[in-house]
Amino acid sequence: MAMQFKQVEHGLYTLDVTGYVCPHPQLYTKKVMEKLHSGDKLELVFDNPSSAESISAMCTNEGNPVLDQKRDGSKFIFTIQKA
């Protein structure tokens, strides 16, 4: 499945990178977070386990809190807020 980025409502976006391997999920997430305004939220969906560690660490480094982390089968669903 190709990468999908959508605006759900004002200040809330979804990025689905299911099926992608490293480094694509990390890079797409970084690019999206750079575009968002402070306070905006991103729901990120991916299924590459090693990206989970890298994305969490990237959010920590950049000060963007991960509000929620869920698992749905092999999928990871992170909700990230732009600081």
In order, the DSSP letters of 29-79 are: HHHHHHHSPTT-EEEEEE--HHHHHHHHHHHHHHT--EEEEEEETTEEEEE
Can 22 be counted among the known catalytic residues?
yes
Query: Does 68 help bind other proteins (rule: CB under 8 A)?
Result: yes
Which residues fall within 8 angstroms of residue 31, CB to CB, at 6 or more apart? none
Which of 22, 27, 57, 83 is the catalytic position? Answer: 22
Q: Is 35 in the site for other proteins (CB under 8 A)?
A: yes
R_g of the chain, CA atoms, integer Å:
11
To other proteins, the closest distance from the beta carbon of 43 in angstroms equals 13
- Is 63 an interacting residue with respect to other proteins (CB under 8 A)? yes
Kindly list the residues in this chain that would bind other proteins in the complex (CB under 8 A).
1-7, 10, 19-24, 26-32, 35-37, 40, 47, 49-50, 52-74, 76, 81, 83
